[in-house]
């Protein structure tokens, strides 16, 4: 008779983390995301301060993200092969943060080197930035396998990360639109100098805290099958993992579409078009961002609650379903929007409906947070079927597909705007609203994201790591760790499918009951 999830959980000795460790390590994602926020304004720096053409910049930013995607697997191999007295993850995290900080120092000082050096230094700064960012960001995904493997505890990372991300993304928009832009008179040179310094300092502090969070768990005994039984992995084995791991293939592609949507929602040009052009008041973006902090946190908590009770897969699918409905309703509302429609002083029915639907829209991007933890599930699944521990490579496969998909976000924005006559410069808050601009806003904020959400939802039909499957994975890893020698570990990995865990007498493989 099949065991229940509760029975399987009771059979396994889990590696659990303390709450403060989860909280501190989650800060690594915030440490990298703050660069993501600042990076969304690089388009204004490149066109306004450096004088580069809009269409060229939008395409270059896309190509750089594609480059980022292709260097990610190399970074994954680097992490998997790293074994120092300071651990596997901490050295990569610190080095990545330092490289990223140096890239920003170069990027926002290019104009001091003369016009002849503008283009080569701009490309160089973008490349260096992507290398550093990828190194630190990959640790967020890969390090979770060491932090905890308890299916009830892993979603707690999503709660903490979701809260911090909500505060970061909403808070940064408030600071930028209500403080920095008015203080510096727009996206000026002084604006970017202050932005650069603030981002580097805050990111570094968060990186140090995340190092403290992973410090104790950055040890071989907490990941894979332990130091002695984890199978050695050569470069040719990585292709076997990519080719044979169906959950990795499906989720990485599905998550890439979600990442594309999140990138569109964060795009500074799209935000300016929505609040500055459609509603006629860019400062509203800061006010709305402040109002969205609590709803965003509640949605993240709701998704994590579903994950703890029903599994991460169920939470992912439900979030997509709600997101699709919310996006379609928001599209109808934007169709009837105009300058003055959104009034947060003298509230009206339109304003109330917009705030509600704009909040529910966060369900569309909630899977981005869940994927951080689901990647750890896939890493554990790979360990259970092959005995290999390749969390770094698996983490960077997600980064690869994310980068390729999100690279199309600035490209799509550039193409859509070029199609309606904005090939040389982006719309600003002073640009008058036209039917073409309204159509572009709806296309970028609703139509394109909805199509991506539907595709992502269809792909999840082929993702089988639900709550029951993950309980089987952890049970099998528990058995493999208990095996007497390396050959028996290989035999269990090869000969005991997850679906047969109830029926196979594992004592024949040298496992003591």
Express each pLDDT in 110-123 by its tens digit: 988 888 888 889 88
Partners of 87 in beta bridges: 84
Closest CA to 211 of 17, 21, 18: 21
The predicted pLDDT at position 509 comes to 47
The gap from C-alpha 220 to its chain's centroid, in whole angstroms, comes to 26
Q: Phi and psi at residue 511, in whole multiples of 5°?
A: -105, 125
Alpha helices in 267-344 (DSSP H): 268-271, 284-310, 312-335
What does the alpha-carbon distance between residue 171 and residue 326 come to, in Å, rounded to a whole number?
Answer: 23
Torsion of CA 85, 88, 91, 95, to 10 degrees: 160
Taking the CB of residue 77, how many other CB atoms lie within 10 A of it?
A: 17
What does the alpha-carbon distance between residue 303 and residue 497 come to, in Å, rounded to a whole number?
Answer: 30
HEC per residue, 383-400 = HHHHCECCHHHHHHHHHH
Q: For the whole model, what pTM was predicted?
A: 0.74
Q: Are 239 and 57 spatial neighbours (Cβ–Cβ below 8 Å)?
A: no
The predicted pLDDT at position 1 comes to 42
Kindly give, in sequence order, each residue whose CB lies less than 8 Å from that of residue 440, ignoring residues fewer than 6 positions away.
273, 416, 417, 419, 420
Domains of the chain, start order: 7-473 (1.20.1250.20)
Residue listed under structure tokens 């004088």:
51
What does the alpha-carbon distance between residue 500 and residue 125 come to, in Å, rounded to a whole number?
Answer: 52
Q: What is the CA radius of gyration of the chain?
A: 23
Closest CA to 449 of 329, 362, 354, 327: 327
What does the alpha-carbon distance between residue 447 and residue 440 come to, in Å, rounded to a whole number?
Answer: 10
Q: What is the mean pLDDT of the chain?
A: 83
The predicted pLDDT at position 11 comes to 52
Q: Are 181 and 191 spatial neighbours (Cβ–Cβ below 8 Å)?
A: yes
Burial class (CB in 10 A: 0-12, 13-18, 19+), 234: exposed
Structure tokens of 72? 């990610």
The predicted pLDDT at position 315 comes to 94
Q: Is the dihedral angle over the CA atoms 126, 132, 135, 138 positive or is it negative?
A: negative
Which residues in the chain land under pLDDT 50?
A: 1, 7, 503-504, 506, 509, 513
> In angstroms, what CA-CA distances link 106 with 124, 129, 206, 512?
9, 10, 22, 59
Max CA pair span of the chain: 76
**SS3 (DSSP) at 87:** strand
Residue listed under structure tokens 């528990």:
478
What does the alpha-carbon distance between residue 91 and residue 98 come to, in Å, rounded to a whole number?
Answer: 11
């Amino acid at each position: 008779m099949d065991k229940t999830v509760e029975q399987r959980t009771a059979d396994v000795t889990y590696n659990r983390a303390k709450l403060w460790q989860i909280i501190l390590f989650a800060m690594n994602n915030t440490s990298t995301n703050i660069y993501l926020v600042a990076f969304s304004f690089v388009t204004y720096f490149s066109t306004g301060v450096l004088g580069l053409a809009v269409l060229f910049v939008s395409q270059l930013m896309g190509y750089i993200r594609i480059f980022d995607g292709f260097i990610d697997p190399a970074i994954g191999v680097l992490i998997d092969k790293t074994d120092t007295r300071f651990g596997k993850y901490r050295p990569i995290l610190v080095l990545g943060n330092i490289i990223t900080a140096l890239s920003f120092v170069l990027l926002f000082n290019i104009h001091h080197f003369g016009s002849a050096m503008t283009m080569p230094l701009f490309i160089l700064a973008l490349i260096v930035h992507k290398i550093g960012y990828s190194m630190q960001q990959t640790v967020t995904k890969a390090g979770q396998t060491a932090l905890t493997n308890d299916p009830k505890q892993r979603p707690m990372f999503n709660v903490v990360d979701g809260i911090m991300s909500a505060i970061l993304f909403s808070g940064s928009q408030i600071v930028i639109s209500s403080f920095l832009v008015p203080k510096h008179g727009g996206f000026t040179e002084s604006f970017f100098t202050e932005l650069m310094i603030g981002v580097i300092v805050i990111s570094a502090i968060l990186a140090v805290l995340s190092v403290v969070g992973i410090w104790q768990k950055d040890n071989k005994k907490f990941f894979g099958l332990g130091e002695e039984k984890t199978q050695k992995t050569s470069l040719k084995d990585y292709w076997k993992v990519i080719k044979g791991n169906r959950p990795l293939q499906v989720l990485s592609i599905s998550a890439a579409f979600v990442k594309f949507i999140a990138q569109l929602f964060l795009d500074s040009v799209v935000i300016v078009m929505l609040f500055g052009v459609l509603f006629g008041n860019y400062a509203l973006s800061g006010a709305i961002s402040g109002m969205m902090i609590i709803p965003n946190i509640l949605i993240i908590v709701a998704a994590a609650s579903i994950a703890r009770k029903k599994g991460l897969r169920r939470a992912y699918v439900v979030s997509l379903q709600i997101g699709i409905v919310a996006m379609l309703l928001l599209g109808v509302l934007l169709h009837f929007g105009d300058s003055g429609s959104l009034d947060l002083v003298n509230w009206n029915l339109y304003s109330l409906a917009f705030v509600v639907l704009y909040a529910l829209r966060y369900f569309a991007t909630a899977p981005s947070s869940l994927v951080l933890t689901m990647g750890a599930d896939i890493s554990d699944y790979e360990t259970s079927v092959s005995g290999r521990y390749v969390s770094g490579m698996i983490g960077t496969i997600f980064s690869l597909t994310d980068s390729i998909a999100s690279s199309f976000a600035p490209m799509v924005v550039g193409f859509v705007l070029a199609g309606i006559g904005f090939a040389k410069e982006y719309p600003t808050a002073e640009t008058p609203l036209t039917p073409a601009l309204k159509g572009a806003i709806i296309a970028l904020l609703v139509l394109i994201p909805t199509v991506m959400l539907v595709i992502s939802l269809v792909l999840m039909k082929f993702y089988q790591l639900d709550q029951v499957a993950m309980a089987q994975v952890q049970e099998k890893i528990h058995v493999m760790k208990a095996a007497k020698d390396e050959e028996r570990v290989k035999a269990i990995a090869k000969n005991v499918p997850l679906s047969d865990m109830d029926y196979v007498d594992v004592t024949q493989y040298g496992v003591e009951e």
